[in-house]
Amino acid sequence: MFGYYADAVTTQPFSQKTILKSGAIETAFMPGFVPESLDIKSMVVDNPAERRAEIAYFRRVGENRRPTIYPIHHTSMIEKIYQLNNLD
């Protein structure tokens, strides 16, 4: 599938809104993914010593040009993911 991926820390709603406005969809929530050592000057956090969560996004661009190959026993799960994210 052709598309782009983006990530945003959960403490920056502006970044999240910008990514969503581009047509991307949330695909993963990763608690504790961002290390406490990450310093973003515009980010104000309650406790800078804590690890922060991140949200992953995906936006489909164009159509698939080659078949998707995955183990047959994953078919129902993958089809459900495609349907829930309007990717089919």
Per-residue pLDDT of the chain (88 residues; tens, 9 = 90+): 678 889 888 877 888 999 999 999 888 888 877 777 666 665 555 555 566 788 999 988 877 666 678 888 998 998 888 888 777 6
Q: Residue 18: its pLDDT value, please?
A: 92
Q: Residue 31: its pLDDT value, please?
A: 87
Could you list the beta-strand ranges (E) of the chain.
Answer: 3-9, 25-34, 52-60
